[in-house]
Structure 1
């Protein structure tokens, strides 16, 4: 891949328009693209059609499998496994249509064959319309998305026993969800786990214990993971100097940022940028 420094500078942002993308295993792309904690400015809808794995949403880990639909509201932190057997689709929901979807995360398991076929057909219809360039096709894609929201709401009503990755699963889950909210809001401010724990009125030890209980990871791991993901995006999508990225992410020096990034990713920020945005993320 051409070194990033020769690429034109792109604004560091995430898509907020209607967009559809495949979910599929790609060893060369790097697991950080799926597994590392991240969030988006607009909602996402995942539809898994093949394979199984785990997804962590707001600090709560659940399994997923074929014919699962997972709705992720804006600004909710998540990451998921996408092994060799996994295939599916991720839909970006425009901000203007976000009100048509739930306010909390919802994980539906479609067991009815007719519903499974309906969901697949709706995704195919949206993809078909988005592949065309005419304005009428864009309008049609948005109308299909509106129908998708109706379908999703009906499935919620038919599946009261669905597994939810929201904030109703006990004290530990609620605390960790609140912690992930604080991370998402303040991860660029150089605050540590002790600062977040103090804001939540608990000790760092208790916070880490709860994180390990809900997702098998420490409080520090979740925080570092979110920062590292953002660093990866900034290194991939901009030509900003490493020193500027370090500053933007709240690091006191470029050297400290480099050591932290290398400990997480296995190589330096400069190496990551020059070699196709990396191939792995080490979870600590």
Structure 2
């Protein structure tokens, strides 16, 4: 009978432990050396991990098979995926562990990234690629900020990790080569750019589809596959993001914000915002300002 794969917080630790942190960093050596350089198959229910292999070699188990890796590699391991590792004794690297619910919400607006992060990946960082060195330095800095920040990592951690993951996605795409998925990713990126320019006009899906040379149905199929939502939701998300910024960082009245975003009726804007943000704009402003002042 097959034994169930154990569920851990950090490897070897019960899920009830370490509930207070949202970001943790440690060297690969510090934990793997205690287990004969092998992390046996397990999974995390709530934790998302990034492994930065600076030197040394090993194998990563995911998707039911072992994947070899060498130095200068980034391994991304989402929550709820069975995985394991074997490391050479000369390995040098770090494991950055994040509470997935805290971090994943910040990634949804980036074209293709949320979809890519749903599956484990192993990405080599070739010396000849201009992003490789910057990505390695970004992960090193994120690790340093987490370690120095202790239980309350600094505000730099989230933007550093977003940059690192975006660069990893770019490098992973360069490895795969161009294909339908890459073209669709480029279309989504162009759509995101266009929405950023035109969101105040709340243009229909057909407008963006025509500019991209696609039908509305085809464009919605692409955005659902890569971003998990239709075009209309991408437009709404961009409007709500701008509204949130104005509510928190400006002294504009809610009526002024509504007009600035193309809403002639403040009541309609308030209903629109509440539908997508989960609360009315006035309550959102009060809550966020209270958090900033605390």
Could you say which TM-score interval applies, normalised by the shorter chain? 0.3 to 0.5
Greater relative contact order (CA < 8 Å, ≥ 6 in sequence): 1
* TM-score, normalising length: structure 1: 0.47
